[in-house]
């Protein structure tokens, strides 16, 4: 791959964030979910209001991966109170690493992941954690390969459908 750039997302980028957010969520989850649940989630979860609030949150950060000015992936990190669970000040949560299917296998996810770990170390986080859908073996093996271990499960509701996320973590102490 040519030079992939990783840059922090700002409010000016909200249209691009909404577009890639919806596209990658749909690609990842549409086969396993009803059209109605997907439509509602894509509408609410990636609304301008919600994204504006998330971009304005000092404890959340988004990053784009771009290639020749085209957005080819994004990362969402949460700290402190903005973490979806745990809310541990010694931790950093990777809430999302999404890459469109056409760019799978091109190390885009790994670059975004490396960025997340770099930020975790800058913030002196003791560990990084995340939730990954149990029916996403590609993601699970990616995180295992990077040293994550499973430690819990939790339920994620998509519309009226309950799904299980596997929670995984990576200790940074001594790394």
Which positions are catalytic? 143
Distance (Å, whole) CA 28 – CA 97: 11
Percent of residues in the chain assigned helix, strand, coil, to nearest 5 = 40, 35, 25
**Residue whose C-alpha is closest to residue 143's, from 123, 116, 119, 124:** 116
Distance (Å, whole) CA 24 – CA 14: 15
């Amino acid at each position: 791959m040519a030079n992939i750039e990783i840059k922090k997302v700002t409010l000016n980028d909200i249209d691009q964030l909404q577009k890639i957010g919806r596209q990658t969520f749909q690609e990842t989850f549409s086969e396993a979910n009803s059209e109605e649940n997907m439509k509602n989630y894509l509408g609410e979860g990636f609304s301008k209001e919600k994204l504006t609030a998330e971009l304005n949150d000092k404890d959340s950060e988004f990053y784009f991966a771009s290639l020749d000015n085209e957005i080819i992936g994004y990362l969402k990190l949460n700290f402190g109170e903005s973490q979806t669970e745990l809310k541990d000040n010694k931790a950093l949560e990777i809430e999302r690493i999404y890459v469109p299917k056409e760019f799978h296998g091109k190390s885009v996810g790994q670059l975004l992941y490396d960025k997340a770990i770099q930020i975790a170390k800058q913030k002196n986080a003791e560990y990084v954690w995340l939730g990954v859908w149990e029916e996403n073996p590609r993601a699970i093996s990616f995180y295992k390969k990077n040293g994550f271990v499973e430690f819990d499960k939790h339920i994620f509701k998509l519309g009226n459908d309950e799904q299980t996320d596997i929670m995984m973590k990576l200790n940074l102490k001594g790394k």
